[in-house]
Structure 1
Amino acid sequence: MPRAPHFMPLLLLLLLLSLSHTQTAFPQDPLPLLTSDLQGTSPLSWFRGLEDDAVVAELGLDFQRFLTLNRTLLVAARDHVFSFDLQAQEEGEGLVPNKYLTWRSQDMENCAVRGKLTDECHNYIRVLVPWDSQTLLACGTNSFSPVCRSYGITSLKQEGEELSGQARCPFDATQSNVAIFAEGSLYSATAADFQASDAVVYRSLGPQPPLRSAKYDSKWLREPHFVHALEHGDHVYFFFREVSVEDARLGRVQFSRVARVCKRDMGGSPRALDRHWTSFLKLRLNCSVPGDSTFYFDVLQALTGPVDLYGRPALFGVFTTQTNSIPGSAVCAFYLDDIERGFEGKFKEQRSLDGPWLPVLTLPLPTRLPDLPDDVLTFIKAHPLLDPAVPPAAHQPLLTLTSRALLTQLAVDGRAGPYSNTTVLFLGSNDGMVLKVLPPGGPSGRREPILLEEINAYSPSRCSGKRAAQTERRVIGLELDTEGHRLFVAFSGCIIYLPLSRCAQHGACQRSCLASQDPYCGWHSSRGCVDIRGPGGTDVDPAGNQESTEHSDCQASLALTWSLSPALLGPGPSPETPSPPCDAHPRPQSSTLGAHTQGVRRDLPPASASLSVPIPLLLACAAAAFALGASVSGLLVSCACRRGYRGRALKRVDVEKPQLPPKPPLVSPSSQPAAAILTFKGSCARVSNGALEARALKGQEHGRISKDRTPPSLRVPHLQPSWTLRVSRGPSPPRVYLLTVFPPVLERGVGGEKLAPSVSQLFGGNRRTPTPPSLSQAALTRPSGLPP
C-alpha cells in the first residue's frame, strides 16, 4: 500500500487551526426579523413645511438639523425654524408646529450675480444651539454671506443685533459645520471663506480671547468634514473626517479624527501661535474588523453623544468604507476614557519627505502646560498628530453591513426595556431605510447583533422635491424621543415620526411577542403584547416575560402578514385592530404603496449558527482536497502506467539483469527452442528480448535461446502466486501462450506453439502443470490442482 504524502499532516493541522479560529472570519450581515413599509402612514405622522409656502411646494422642506430642548423639538430648515411641542404630539395632534420663525435672505439678487443658482441663495439655517437656558443662537448662510442672530427659546423672537457668521457658519449649505457653547464661549468648526479653503476650529462670543486653528496648514486640518462637537471635562472635542497626511502615498484617503482643545487655552506668544490654539491635538479613530489583514471603515458619517455601554460612557458612530472601495458600513463605539487616554500618547512626525510618519523618540518632549516657551510652541505647531489610534470598544465593530445600502445616521437608546438596561440602535441609510438593532452584549450576553426590524420610511409622494431621487431618499437626521416612544426621521424634503415598536401586531400570541426580542414589547396577561416605556411605562407580567417554550398557543415559526393602520402609530395597542390568529401562516405579501403598511415577520436564526463558511476554513478544505486528489490521482496514474505496456510493443530494449532464484529452474530439454524469457520480480512479470537476455544469462544452464524469434518486451503488473498468465507476441492481434507462476521467483522459457514443461523439472517433480488451455480461455485463470 502506498504511503501518504509527507505534507498531509501539515494540511490536517491547518484544517484544525482554521476550525478553531472561525470566530475571526468577517462578520456576516444579520437578517431582519421584521420588515415594514411605512410609506402609507397617517398624514399626521409627517411634516413637509408650510402649506402656503410656494418655495416649499417646489423644493420641499430642505431640512438642516434637529435640536431638542426639554419637551420641545426645534427643526432648522431653509428660511425657517419650526418648534414642535412633544407633549402635544404625544397626545395625538400629529406633526404640527406650534410656532415658527421666518428668516429670509435680503441679498438674493447679489448672490445670483456672483454666479450662484437661485436655489442656493436662500438662507439655510446651519447653526442652532442654546446660548443659555433662555436664548438660542441661530446662524444662516444668508446668500453666501453668513450671519447670526439670537432668539428667545420659548417665543422664537429675535433678541439683540445680528452678528457676523464668518468662522461660525458655512457660506454654502453643502459645507459641513458643528457648533457648541461651553462655559459661555461658542466653539465652532467650519469653513471660514467663500472658497471653503480655510478650515477653522474657532472660539468666540465669550469671556476668553478668540482663538483659531492654524491657517492653511494641512497638518492641522486638510479638507475636513465636521460631524460632531462635544464638551467633556476641561476640553472641547471635535469629531470629523479629513484627507490623510500620513498616508499620502495611497492617494486621497480619508481618515476619521477626534481633535480637542483646552477651554483654558489663552493662545501663544507674538512670535509663535499668536491668537492660535496651543492645545490643539488630534487622534485617529480606528473602526476596523481585526484579522490577519485588518479591514478598515475609515469614513465617519455620524456620531452620538455619550451613552452608557457595558457600564461605561461611550460614543457611537457610523463609519463607511472609502468611496473607491467595496461599499460597506459599520457601527463602532468608543469609550470616553479611551479617547482621553489616547491624548496622552506620543507625537508623530514625518522624518523625510516621502518617509512614513513615526512616533517622536527624541527627548525631552514638551509638556502640555500654559505659558510655554517659543521652541515648545513651534514644536506643537508642527506636531498636532498623536499616536496611536483610538481602538473601538471590544476591539471590533458592533455591527457591519456589506450587502445593504450605506448607513448615514444613528440614534441610540441606552435605557430601553423594562429594567432600562438594554441598548438599542436606530440606523438610517441612504436608501430611506431605518434599522432597529440590538448590539452584542447586553443582559443576555449576545455574541452577535440582532436586526430586529427593517423599515422603509421614505414616501416619494410626500417627501419628494427638486433634488435628485437618490439624494432625497437619504436619511440625514434621526432624533429619539424616548418619553414619547417615537423616532423622528428627517429627509431633505420632509420629516416623519415612527413609533419605537409595533407590539400590538403580536396580539394574543405570547410566544410571538417574546420571540420578537424587542425590548420595547412585553407580555401582559390581560392586554396581550404591549409597549414598554421604561420603569414608568406599561406594567407587564415578570413571569410571563421569561422566554419559554411552554406556551402552545402560537407556532414557533410564525410568519405573519400585518397592516399598520394610523391607530398603531400612537402609544400602546389599538383596540380596533384585530389580532391575527396565532396558528395561521398566511403567505407573506410584498410591500406596496397604499393606505396601509405591509410587513412580514421572520423567525430569529440561531445566535450561534453561522450563515457562511469562514475563508480560512475554505482555504484549508481546498488545500486538503487538492492534496488528497493529487495523491489518489498519482496512485491511479501509476497503476495505469504499469498496465499500459500490456498488448503493445516497446522500442526501448530493457537490458536489466533479471533477479534469479536461489535454484534457477531448467527448461525442459525436450521443449522447443526458447524465444523469450519471462521474469517474475516482486509483483511484476516481464517477457523480454531473448537475444539480450541471452547475454544477461551467459554462463548459466537455462536452455537454448533462439535469436531469430524474439518477442517484444511485456510488463504485467501484480501477478498472484499459483495463477496462470497468457503472454503474447507477434503481429496484432497477438498470439497468446500460457505460463504458470509460482513464488518466490520464476523464469520460464516460451517457444513454439506447443510448450508445456512439467512442474517437476522446476520443483523436484512433486507437481505437474496441466496442458496449456486453448487460446479462447480467459487471460488469467487458476489451474486446477494447484495450491491456493
Structure 2
Amino acid sequence: MWGRLLPLLLSFFTAIAVPGPSLRRPSRELDATPRMTIPYEELSGTRHFRGQAQNYSTLLLEEASARLLVGARGALFSLSARDIGDGAHKEIHWEASPEMQSKCHQKGKNNQTECFNHVRFLQRLNATHLYACGTHAFQPLCAAIDAETFTLPTSFEEGKEKCPYDPARGFTGLIIDGGLYTATRYEFRSIPDIRRSRHPHSLRTEEAPMHWLNDAEFVFSVLVRESKASAGGDDDKVYYFFTERAAEEGAGSFPQSRNSHRVARVARVCKGDLGGKKILQKKWTSFLKARLICHIPQYETLRGVCSLDADGPARTHFYAAFTLTTQWKTLEASAICRYDLAEVQAVFAGPYMEYQDGARRWGRYEGGVPEPRPGSCITDSLRSRGYNSSQDLPSLVLDFVKLHPLMARPVVPTRGRPLLLKRNVRYTHLTGTPVTTPAGPTYDLLFLGTADGWIHKAVVLGSGMHIIEEMQVFREPQSVENLVVSPMQHSLYVGATSGVIQLPLSSCSRYRSCYDCILARDPYCGWNPSTHACIATTTQANRSQGRRTTLIQDVERGNRGCESSRGTGPPPPLKTRSVLRGDDVLLPCDQPSNLARALWLLNGSMGLSDGQDGYRVGVDGLLVTDTQPEHSGNYGCYAEENGLRILLAAYSLTSNNGVPAGPCSFAEELSRILEKRKHTQLVEQLDESSV
C-alpha cells in the first residue's frame, strides 16, 4: 500500500512547493502577496441580493437614509444598506419594449447582451427625486424617479446626450447643483465628449480644428471643492480620468496618427464655466488635460480610480488601478498608484503643449501665455479685475485654450513609483476609506476588485501597500463591476453580473491571538488585552472599551506590542506519533498566512530543510520518509513572519520495530489532507499526477 501512496504524496508536496495557480503564493512575491486567502466557503458575515435582473453594475449609497440604490439591466432596486438581503427591498421594472429590442437587433446589435435597458446612471437629483438614465436598446432614456415611492414617472426625457448607447462604453457622470456632468461617447458612432446638461449653460468639448478628446474611454469623475472662503464655490473643479489615443506621441497627419498608442489622462473643467461669448460658444473655456503615468507608460491601461478627501481639498488624493501588458502580451500585471491633488494642480499650472505644423507633431509650447491664464476658473480675484464670467475672457485667451488643451508635463505618482505591483491579476475597480486608529494615525484602506471575482483588501503604508487579505466573493468567476464602501454600516458593497454582495469591512474575530491580530495590520482591528480578543475599533462599545484598556495595534510595522500580552494563545498540545521503521509519516502543520515561512525544528535546535535526510517540507506539513531510529524526537512547526516566530504544532515521534501506536495511520493522514484540499486547484494537480 505504501508503495502506491508514497509517489502520490510526493507529487502532492511537489505541487504545493512550487509556484503555480494555488491559493498559497510563493514568499518571493511578498510585496504583492495577500497575507490571507479566504475562499468563498470561508466567508463570514456576508449578505446577498439578486433579483430577476442581471448586471448589477450601478450603485448609489445614501448613508443618511441607509439605502443602497442599484441600477441593473431592466430594473432598479432600493435595498436596505444595513442588510441588503432582508427581503424588504423596492423594485422598479424598466425594460425596453419588444419593439425597441427588435429595432436594436435590426441595427446589428446583439439581442442577448446589448438590446436591453442597461441602467448606466443613478444619482440624487434633489431632495425628492433621483435621476436615472439607461441605454434602452440603443435609444437612451432618462427619468426623474420619486425617491419616496420609488416609482417611474409617466414621461421620460431624451437620453442621447446624457447616456451612452452602448452598455459596454466607458461612462462617468455626476449631478452637481442640479447640473448633469457626463462623459462618454454619446450618439451612435459619435466622438467622445465631456458635457454639461440640465443646466442654464449647456457645455461640451471642442471638435475643431482639433478634437480635445481622441477615442476616449472614461473611467471616473469627481467634484473637488478647491474654493477658499467662497460660498459660491468659484474655484471648484470637476476632474475626469480616462484613457485615449496619445496625441503628443503620434507622428502623422494633424492632429495625430491613428496608430499612436493609448495613454491615461486626467482632465479638469471649472464648475462655474459658462462658455465663451463669441469664441468657444457653448464649449468649455476651462478644459485642460494631462498625461497620467504610473509605471510603464507604453503599456498602461487605466481601469479604475477613487478619490479620498481626508481633511479638505488640500489633502485630496486619488488612487488609480492600471493594467500593465507588454507588447508581446506574455505578461499581464496590475499596478496601483497614488496622485496627490497638489501634484495634479502643479501640472495644470505648468507649461502647455502645441501642435507644430512644420514638424507635424506635438511639442512643448515656448511662447508667451496670455492673461488671465488659460484654463483658470473665474474667481473673486479675477472678478476684481473685471472678468465676471468666462464670457468676459479676451479672445486671445479663448483662442489659446482652443489650441492648447494638453499640458506638457505628465502627472507622476507620489514618490515617483507605484504603491503596488501584482502579477497575473487584473483589477477592474477600486474604492477606499480613511481609517483613524485609536492611537491617532489615519490610514487609507483600499478595496480592489478583480476580473475573476476576488476582493483584495489593502492598507497604504508609506510608499507601499500591504494586502491584508484576498476574498473570493463570488462562487463562479465574474468581474467586479462596482464597489461602494460605507463606514457608517461598516460594509463593502460589491456589484457584479449575478448580483450584489455586502461584506463587513473587517473580520477581526478571525485572529485568535495577539500576534495574529497585529500581523494582519488591519487598521480596523486591535487586540484587547483585557478580554484577550481581537476586536473591531469602529463600534461605540469597542471605542469606549478601547479608551479604557488601550488596544494593541501596530499597523505601521506589524510585529510589536504583544511581548507582554497574555493573550498570545496557549501553546499547542504535544501530539505523539509512532511509526514502523522504514515507513513514512506525515506531521500536519497548516500555515495560516501566505507570508509566513514554515520552519521545522528537531529537539528544539536542529532546523530541517526540504530534501534533507528523508524530510520533505511542504505548506501543509512535514513528510518523514523511510523513518529510522535517528528520526525519533520532538518536532516543532513554527511560522516565521515579519520578524516573529510562532509555534503552531508540536509532535513527539518514535520510530520502532513494533506495531505503530499513533492515533492516526499514514493513510488516514493522507485522506484528511486530501479532503481538506478538495476545493482547491492543488487537488486538481494531485489528481493529474495520479492518473
Asked if Structure 1 and Structure 2 have the same fold, meaning a TM-score greater than 0.5 normalized by the shorter chain, the answer is: yes
**CA 1:355–1:95: 2 relative to 1, 3 Å:** farther
Determine if the alignment matches structure 1 residue 312 to structure 2 residue 306: no
Query: 1:317 and 1:43, CA in 2 relative to 1: closer, same or farther beyond 3 A?
Result: closer
Residue in structure 1 matched with residue 89 of structure 2 by the alignment: 98
Counterpart Cα distance in 2 of 1:512 and 1:146? 52
Quote the residue 1:116 is aligned against. 109
Equivalences for 1:146-225 in 2 at 5 Å?
A: 146-159=140-153, 161-195=155-189, 197-206=190-199, 208-215=200-207, 219-225=211-217
Q: CA 1:515 to 1:27, structure 2 compared with 1: closer, same or farther past 3 Å?
A: closer
Change (3 A) 1:435 1:167: same
Q: CA deviation at 1:36?
A: 0.9
3-state SS in 2 of match to 1:321: strand
Within 2, Cα distance between the matches of 1:84 and 1:420?
Answer: 34
**Take 1:252 and 1:373, find their aligned partners in 2: how far apart are those partners?**
34
CA contact (8 A) 1:40 1:459 kept: no
CA RMSD of aligned residues (A): 3.3
Shift of 1:84: 1.2
Q: Secondary structure at the match of 2:401?
A: helix
Whichever residue aligns with residue 191 of structure 2, its letter is D
TM-score (normalizing by structure 2): 0.67
- Equivalent pair of 2:56/2:70 in contact (CA under 8 Å): yes
Cα displacement string for residues 659-693 of structure 1 (whole angstroms, at most 9, x for unaligned residues): xxxxxxxxxxxxxxxxxxxxxxxxxxxxxxxxxxx
Distance (Å, rounded) in 1 between the aligned partners of 2:366 and 2:46: 63
Q: In the superposition, relative to structure 1, how do residues 602 and 316 fare at CA in structure 2: closer, same or farther (>3 Å)?
A: farther
CA apart distance, 1:537: 4.0
Question: Could you tell me which residue of structure 1 aligns to residue 346 of structure 2?
Answer: 341
Instruction: Work out the CA distance in 1 between the residues paired with 2:358 and 2:427.
Output: 37
- Give, in whole Å, the separation in 2 of the partners of 1:44 and 1:498: 5
Matches within 5 A, 1:356-505: 356-365=361-370, 367=372, 368=374, 370=390, 371-401=392-422, 403-418=423-438, 419=440, 421-441=442-462, 448-460=464-476, 473-505=478-510
Q: Which amino acid aligns with 1:365?
A: P
DSSP 3-state at the match of 1:337: helix
CA change 1:182–1:458 in 2 (3 A) is same
Match among 512, 521, 542 for residue 550 of structure 2: 542
The answer to whether residue 524 in structure 2 is matched with residue 515 in structure 1 is no
Contact 1:80 1:101 in 2 (8 A): yes
| TM-aligned CA deviation for residue 307 of structure 1 | 3.2
- Indicate conservation of the 8 Å contact 2:46/2:502, yes or no: no
Greater relative contact order: 1 or 2 (C-alpha under 8 angstroms, separation 6 or more)? 2
Cα-to-partner distance string for 1:139-183 (whole Å, 9 max, x where unaligned): 011110001100122321234731111121000101111111222
> Which secondary structure state, in structure 1, belongs to the residue aligned with residue 307 of structure 2?
coil
* 1:218-297 equivalent positions in 2, closer than 5 A: 219-233=211-225, 234-249=236-251, 251-270=259-278, 272-288=279-295
* Closer/same/farther in 2, CA of residues 416 and 457 from structure 1, 3 Å limit: farther
Question: For this pair of structures, how many residues does the alignment match?
Answer: 510
What SS does the corresponding residue of 2:492 show, helix, strand or coil?
Answer: strand
What is the DSSP-based 3-state SS (H/G/I as helix, E as strand, rest coil) of the residue aligned with 1:283?
Answer: strand
Q: Which amino acid in 1 is paired with 2:522?
A: D
Tell me the distance in 1 between the aligned counterparts of 2:162 and 2:395. 29
Which letter does structure 2 place at the counterpart of 1:64? S
Name the one with the larger strand percent: 2
1:504 Cα deviation from its structure 2 partner: 1.8
Instruction: Give the TM-score, by structure 1 length.
Output: 0.60
Q: Which has the larger Rg? A: 1
C-alpha deviation, 1:286, in angstroms = 2.3
Alignment of 1:665-684 (within 5 A): none
Distance 1:536 1:169 in 2: 46
User: Partner letter of residue 223 of structure 2?
Assistant: E
The question of whether the paired residues in 1 share the 8 Å contact of 2:443 and 2:461 is answered with no
Contact 1:191 / 1:200 at 8 angstroms: preserved in 2? yes
Contact 2:333 2:426 in 1 (8 A): yes
**Matched AA of 1:531:** A
Letter in 1 for 2:319: F
**Identity in percent:** 28
Residue of 298, 301, 305 corresponding to 1:299: 301
Task: Give CA deviations for 1:561-615 in whole Å, capped at 9, x if unaligned.
Answer: 69xxxxxxxxxxxxxxxxxxxxxx99749xxxxxxxxxxx9764459xxxxxxxx
SS at match of 1:339: helix
Deviation of 1:76 after TM superposition, in Å, equals 0.7
Identify which of 62, 67, 70 aligns with 2:60: 67
Give runs of aligned pairs for residues 751-766 of structure 1, distance below 5 A: none
Can you list the C-alpha shifts for 1:396-418, whole angstroms capped at 9, x where unaligned? Answer: 222222x2311111111212533
- Report the 3-state secondary structure (helix = DSSP H, G, I; strand = E; otherwise coil) of the residue aligned with 1:439: strand
CA contact (8 A) 1:79 1:103 kept: yes
Q: Deviations over 1:355-400 (max 9, x none)?
A: 5532211125353363334444333212111121223223222222
2:443 and 2:184 map into 1 onto residues whose CA distance is 36
